[in-house]
Amino acid sequence: MSRLLEVPTHLCVDRGFALDRATNRSHICAEYLDMLVPGSVPYAVLSHLAATGRVREVDRRPDYATGKRVMKMVAKRRDRIFVGVAHNSTGRTLVSHDFKDFAADKRQAIRKEVGVSIVEALESAPLLA
């Protein structure tokens, strides 16, 4: 975990990010706040990234043509937001352990058609260099 906190990597979210539920408008942050337990390591990492200015807000919608491809490939609206944000990020990488909505063949298709790599946390470790 310390390596994550030392490298200049940013967490990209959709616009409206705030750790305060009352003011947060980011769909991605809302999911984090729903899933992460305050006091847990993942929550502490999110808090640290926010406190050190390493959360970057980007548009959730990619360009029109890419957005159409994403809509055809990704069924859930919330998942489309994650893919759109990843597409608009510098690294175009989405770290996800959701193999129900992002099965291996879907991940390959998204990489080919949209240019977003969907990887597990262990696969993303080399990107933190």
- pLDDT at 107 exceeding the cut of 60: yes
CA-CA-CA-CA torsion for 128, 87, 110, 124, nearest 10 degrees? 10
Radius of gyration (Cα) for the chain, nearest Å?
14
**Long-range own/partner contacts, residues 73-80 (CB < 8 A, 24 or more apart):** 73/106, 73/109, 73/110, 73/113, 73/114, 74/101, 74/106, 74/110, 75/101, 76/101, 78/27, 78/31
Mean pLDDT of the chain: 90
Residues of the chain with pLDDT > 90, as a percent, come to 74
Residue 27 vs residues 30, 41, 69, 92, 123: alpha-carbon distances, Å: 5, 21, 21, 18, 25
Identify the pLDDT of residue 4.
Answer: 57
Rounded average pLDDT over 74-81: 96
Reported pTM: 0.89
Dist CA 101 CA 118 (whole Å)? 11
